[in-house]
Amino acid sequence: MRARQGSQAPAPVPVQVPVPVAVPAPAPVPVHQGPEAPVQTPAPAPAPVAVPVPAPVPAPAPAPAPVPVPVAVPVPAPAPAPVPGAPIIVQPKMKRSEAQRRGRLKLQNIL
């Protein structure tokens, strides 16, 4: 078989990639140090700026524990001794039993 003419692709042309060339840094220019050269004094370092440090704030003192105040407890007065011959008075605060309210029992005044 015969190859057809013009069907072959042309050979690729090598592309040249530019290589970066390191450029040497310029040499420092020497300072003339002759007798007529002015004396170079180094610049004074800037004074450090004093930064105010806040003083630690003391924690608030804990509140003292409340001191219990003695409360006067009312002491009931002793019941007066029964006077012989005086009727026994039933105080209105006292509740009577159900039987007494219905009249089955009578309150007896014992002399």
- What's the confidence (pLDDT) of residue 30? 61
Q: What is the pTM of this model?
A: 0.13
- What's the confidence (pLDDT) of residue 6? 59
- What's the confidence (pLDDT) of residue 66? 72
What are the backbone dihedrals phi and psi of residue 102, each rounded to the nearest 5 degrees, phi first? -85, -5
Q: CA-to-CA distance for 31 and 37, rounded, in angstroms?
A: 9
Closest C-alpha among 108, 85, 107 to residue 97: 107
Q: CA-to-CA distance for 96 and 105, rounded, in angstroms?
A: 11
Buried (b) or exposed (e) across 87-106, using 16+ Cβ within 10 A?
Answer: eeeeeeeeeeeeeeeeeeee
Q: Which residues of the chain have pLDDT under 50?
A: none
